[in-house]
Amino acid sequence: MSHPRPLKMVDPSVAIELAKVSFRYHPEKPQVLKQVSVKVPAGKYVTVIGHNGSGKSTLSKLIMGIFNLQEGEIRIFGTKLTGKNLDELRRFLGIVFQNPDNQFVGSTVEDDIAFGLENRQIPHDQMQAIVEKCARKVNMQDHLQTEPLMLSGGQKQQVAIASVLALSPKIIIFDEATSMLDVKGEKMIRRLMHDLKVSEHKTIISITHNVEEALDSDYVIVLNDGQVVMSGDPHTVLKDHHRLSSIGLEVPLTLKIALALQNEGVAVEPTLNEDRLISNILKLKK
């Protein structure tokens, strides 16, 4: 059995680079993305935030090659994405969508995690070991024989993530992957994204409308009307509450509380750190 040749990384330091990427769904419709240029360093956790219709999900589908690129360039580890090398470069990429039900193809959790491995003709003994390993990583090892219909929303996302991990991509895109979950499920997936970056050295790109999620990341990109309007360290970007509010994004709750206290004449620091806010309030009582 022949195996695909190992992929080469022309630039291992930059996982994804977009240069002047523009896109529209129809020639007579406005552009959804307008001259977007960003770099995602390898091994980092990056959030892309913006309200609905800002172009976030279109961006992820262009990177994955689900939509054909119209203007600009996309490079994966330094190699320009084209129609000819799309299948090859996709081996660097994995994506977890908003609705995990759209990703299920197997009758059991085990079958679903194994699906991509079967397509790559991985030997059965190796496949079994990979499935069990990935199930453990997302704490689903006790549900391998469970039907997907019997799982909670958070568990379904865990299985979807395990299915992606089984193929060992270096880059994982989470496209609104927490938006349909309850608070417990959302926190679990956010923690898992962080763990994948730290323990698995994955490049994580989380596309979300939830500004709070950006606090977990190394770098944040803010999209509005198809353009990058802010980018940088999340604690710097998210403190610009006037600009965030002007494009329809809620500021993180901790900062919102601090600003509300300031408006009431309480001399507290405008901070994103909950512990620091509590400490500042306690100092005022002394």
| CATH number for the domain that contains residue 110 | 3.40.50.300
In the sheet with 203-208, reading across from the earlier edge strand, the strands are 93-96, 171-175, 203-208, 45-49, 219-224, 227-232
Overall domain count for the chain: 1
Residue 190: give the domain boundaries: 14-251
Residue 260 has pLDDT above 90, yes or no: no
pTM of the model: 0.89
Is the residue at 40 inside a domain? yes
Residues in Cβ contact with 59 at an 8 Å cutoff, skipping those fewer than 6 apart:
18, 21, 33, 36, 48, 207, 223
* Comparison of pLDDT for 73 and 280, the residue scoring more: 73
pLDDT in tens, 3-26: 445 568 899 999 999 999 999 999
Residue 207 neighbours by CB under 8 Å, 6+ apart: 47, 48, 56, 57, 59, 60, 173, 174, 175, 176
Is there a domain that residue 105 lies in?
yes
Residue with tokens 């194994």: 114
Query: How does pLDDT run across 157-193, given as a tens digit for each residue?
Result: 999 999 999 999 999 999 998 888 888 888 888 899 9
In angstroms, rounded to a whole number, what is the distance separating the alpha carbons of residues 188 and 64? 25
Whether 56 is covered by a domain: the verdict is yes
Is there a contact between 238 and 272 (Cβ–Cβ < 8 Å)? yes
Tell me whether residue 282 is in a domain: no
Structural domain includes residue 2: no
- Structural domain contains residue 265: no
Contact 224, 192 (CB under 8 A): no
Distance in angstroms (rounded) separating the CA atoms of residues 13 and 36: 20
Residue 284 forms part of a structural domain? no
Top pLDDT among 268 and 45 is at 45
Are the C-beta atoms of residues 208 and 60 closer than 8 Å to each other? no
pLDDT more than 90, % of the chain: 60
Structure tokens at 65: 């090659």
Q: What is the pLDDT of residue 5?
A: 54
- Please give the span between the terminal C-alpha atoms of the chain, in angstroms, as a whole number: 73
